[in-house]
């Protein structure tokens, strides 16, 4: 009963903050902007304090947007069928197939055997692997590849170590480490994340007279940021936020060997589910072109075979469907994956994705995004380094509630105009803004990577906010300082 009363307190708080926000947001040019701001505040409070189940809160736009004239029901509902949602669904079914065959245990034990069983070492190993993948394939696909392996590590530790408090803390740190490393790794290359490509397209279109930025040149800036962020982020995660004990989880080194021996030789089901997952990963990695310079590029299979319409989501669904069609040898009269097992997937996270996309769409249609963009462009400060800090701060926290791609599409043209007014090289404002769009770590809707690991069931939203806000500020510091130090060397920019 007490819990029920607390929930109502948070609901009242949400309404109060929404009213305050509605009053404060100007409505002269965009009458729907205050309403949209109020809706965002209500959803944010409901998500943070879980006034109702998170998936239920994610459905609020379906009735609130049409009710207040932000978007009609049909337009709002389309956000819940975005391509990325089916990528997540297919990826989770692929992961379930691996778990169903027990291949995940074998992979996890081999990783522990190689890296060692110190908690902080395991987290570092996973973060490096995820970031390395994310430099070349989508952040989401990177998490899809690494999360099932991480979950199997958690499962294996649970089977040998009876310490629920430690296991819970380790699980949160590992899952968040994978998600954050994917976003951090995507900053290193032009193809690592969509905001980088948005910047390239706009920069070359708006400023054709300025020097072009090549693949290798971007890496000279992006890779040091990624490496610095990855190391400091790992230290922050394991030494400050979730202090990992200096212990060997598997004290007896023969334990791993014994567990591997118990699994026996690779079974047909393991090979089949592993090959299907590997096929999906290879198709994700090799699908897109990689342009290293104006004269040299590596063609992906999409452009080679004229299959541009086949997306990563199509690959995820197609390969996951194979699991339902190939018979299992271990379980006669069953397939590698059954619908009974597929129903265990956290379906509510699909609504969370849709809720996040709806908010991004509502920002644009209501004009709230334009108001925020104008506030950023009207900064009356002369110091370029201070402007960079403010822009990094604004982009980082704005991306917490909107898509990073949508944010960069909106903000970069405004910053391009602002740089002309301030008499600055446009790259001084546009590059840090682009990088900061990948530095939102506080909420599940900030990035698909965070939504995916949130679906693991090991993370509470309060834990993500607590860790994420520190990572946000760390990102602002690293992007600002590394860009300031390397801008002249890499781009020839005098700040």
Q: CB atoms < 10 A from the CB of 94, how many?
A: 27
Shared domain for 145 and 244, answered yes or no, is yes
C-alpha to C-alpha distance for 285 and 275, rounded to whole angstroms: 15
CA atoms within 13 Å, Cβ hemisphere of 214: 9
386 and 92 in contact (C-beta within 8 Å)? no
Q: What is the pLDDT of residue 432?
A: 92
Does residue 70 surpass a pLDDT of 80?
Answer: yes
Does residue 137 surpass a pLDDT of 70?
Answer: no
Q: Which of 119, 77, 150, 87 is nearest to 317 (CA)?
A: 87
Q: Which of 184, 75, 194 is nearest to 133 (CA)?
A: 184
In-domain check, residue 414: no
Shared domain for 36 and 3, answered yes or no, is yes
C-alpha to C-alpha distance for 256 and 107, rounded to whole angstroms: 12
Q: What is the pLDDT of residue 402?
A: 67
- The tens digit of pLDDT for each residue in 301-342 reads 988 899 989 888 898 899 999 999 999 999 988 999 999 988
Q: Which residue, 311, 342, 373, sits at the end of a domain? A: 342
pTM of the prediction? 0.71
Task: Compute the average pLDDT of residues 71-75.
Answer: 94
- The tens digit of pLDDT for each residue in 191-208 reads 677 788 778 777 877 788
Q: What is the pLDDT of residue 4?
A: 52
Shared domain for 157 and 172, answered yes or no, is yes
DSSP string for 338-404: -HHHHTTS-THHHHHHHHHHHHHHHHHHHTHHHHHHHHHHT-----HHHHHHHHHHHHHHHTTTS-H
Shared domain for 188 and 43, answered yes or no, is no
In-domain check, residue 466: no
- The tens digit of pLDDT for each residue in 344-370 reads 877 877 887 788 778 878 877 888 877
- The tens digit of pLDDT for each residue in 140-172 reads 777 877 888 888 888 878 776 666 778 888 989
Does residue 395 surpass a pLDDT of 80?
Answer: yes
- The tens digit of pLDDT for each residue in 440-474 reads 888 887 788 888 888 878 888 889 999 999 999 99
Shared domain for 95 and 125, answered yes or no, is yes
In-domain check, residue 15: yes
Which residues, at least 6 apart from 234, have a Cβ–Cβ distance to it below 8 Å? 120, 123, 124, 127, 177
In-domain check, residue 279: yes
Q: Which residue, 342, 362, 387, sits at the end of a domain? A: 342
Shared domain for 92 and 72, answered yes or no, is no
Segments forming the whole domain that contains residue 90: 83-342
Shared domain for 103 and 49, answered yes or no, is no
Q: pLDDT confidence of 234, banded at 50, 70, 90?
A: very high
Q: What is the pLDDT of residue 291?
A: 59
Q: pLDDT confidence of 406, banded at 50, 70, 90?
A: low
C-alpha to C-alpha distance for 216 and 204, rounded to whole angstroms: 16
Q: What is the pLDDT of residue 77?
A: 94
In-domain check, residue 443: no
Least confident of 169-173, 215-219, 488-492: 215-219
Mean residue pLDDT of the chain comes to 83
Least confident of 8-17, 105-114, 240-249: 105-114
In-domain check, residue 355: no
Q: pLDDT confidence of 373, banded at 50, 70, 90?
A: low
Task: Compute the average pLDDT of residues 257-261.
Answer: 74
Query: Tell me, what DSSP letter sits at residue 334?
Result: -
Higher pLDDT, 426 or 259: 426
Q: What is the pLDDT of residue 168?
A: 86
Return the sign of the alpha-carbon dihedral for residues 61, 63, 68, 72: positive
Q: What is the pLDDT of residue 92?
A: 78
Q: CB atoms < 10 A from the CB of 66, how many?
A: 16
Query: Tell me, what DSSP letter sits at residue 239?
Result: I
Q: Which residue, 78, 95, 125, sits at the end of a domain? A: 78
Does residue 1 surpass a pLDDT of 50?
Answer: no
Q: What is the pLDDT of residue 74?
A: 95
Shared domain for 15 and 66, answered yes or no, is yes
Please count the structural domains in the chain. 2
* Maximum average pLDDT range among 120-134, 284-298, 462-476: 462-476
Task: Compute the average pLDDT of residues 5-25.
Answer: 88
Does residue 3 surpass a pLDDT of 70?
Answer: no
Shared domain for 5 and 124, answered yes or no, is no
Shared domain for 97 and 231, answered yes or no, is yes
Shared domain for 10 and 120, answered yes or no, is no
Q: What is the pLDDT of residue 471?
A: 94
């Amino acid at each position: 009963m007490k819990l029920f009363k607390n929930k109502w307190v948070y609901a009242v708080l949400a309404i109060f903050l929404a009213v305050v926000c509605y009053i404060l947001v100007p409505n002269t040019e965009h009458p729907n902007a205050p309403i949209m701001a109020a809706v965002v505040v209500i959803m944010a409070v409901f998500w943070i304090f879980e006034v109702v189940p998170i998936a239920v809160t994610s459905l609020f736009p379906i009735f609130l947007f049409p009710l207040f004239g932000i978007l009609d029901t049909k337009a709002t509902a389309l956000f819940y069928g975005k391509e990325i949602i089916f990528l997540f669904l297919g990826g989770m079914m692929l992961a379930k197939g691996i778990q169903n065959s027990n291949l995940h245990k074998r992979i996890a034990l081999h990783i522990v055997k190689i890296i060692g069983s110190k908690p902080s070492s395991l987290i570092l190993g996973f973060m490096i692997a995820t970031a390395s993948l994310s430099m070349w394939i989508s952040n989401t696909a990177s998490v899809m590849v690494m999360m099932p392996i991480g979950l199997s590590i958690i499962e294996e530790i649970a089977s040998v170590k009876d310490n629920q408090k430690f296991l819970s803390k380790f699980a949160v740190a590992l899952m968040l480490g994978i998600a954050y490393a994917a976003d951090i790794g995507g900053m290193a290359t032009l193809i690592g994340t969509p905001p980088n490509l948005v910047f390239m397209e706009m920069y070359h279109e708006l400023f054709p007279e300025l020097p072009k930025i090549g693949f290798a040149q971007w890496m000279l800036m992006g890779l040091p940021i990624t490496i610095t962020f990855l190391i400091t982020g790992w230290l922050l995660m394991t030494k400050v936020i979730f202090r990992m004990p200096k212990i060997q989880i598997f004290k007896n080194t023969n334990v791993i060997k014994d567990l591997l021996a118990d699994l026996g030789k690779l079974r047909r089901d393991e090979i089949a589910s592993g090959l299907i997952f590997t096929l999906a990963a290879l198709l994700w990695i090799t699908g897109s072109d990689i342009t290293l310079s104006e004269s040299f590029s590596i063609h992906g299979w999409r452009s080679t075979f004229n299959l541009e319409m086949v997306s990563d989501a199509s690959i995820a669904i197609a390969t996951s469907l194979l699991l339902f069609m190939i018979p299992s040898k271990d379980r006669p009269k069953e397939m590698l994956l059954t619908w009974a097992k597929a129903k265990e997937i956290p379906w509510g996270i699909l609504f969370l994705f849709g809720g996040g996309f709806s908010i991004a769409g509502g920002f644009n249609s209501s004009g709230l995004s334009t108001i925020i963009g104008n506030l950023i462009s009207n900064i009356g400060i002369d110091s370029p380094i201070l402007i960079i800090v403010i822009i990094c701060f604004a982009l980082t926290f704005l991306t917490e509630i909107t898509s990073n791609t949508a944010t960069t599409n909106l903000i970069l043209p405004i910053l391009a105009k602002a740089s002309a007014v301030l008499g600055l090289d446009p790259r001084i404002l546009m590059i840090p803004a682009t990088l900061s769009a990948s530095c939102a770590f506080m909420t599940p809707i900030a990035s698909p990577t965070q939504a995916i690991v949130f679906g693991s069931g090991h993370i509470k939203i309060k834990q993500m906010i607590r860790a994420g806000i520190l990572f946000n500020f760390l990102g602002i510091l690293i992007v600002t300082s590394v860009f300031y130090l390397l801008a002249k060397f890499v781009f020839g920019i005098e700040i």
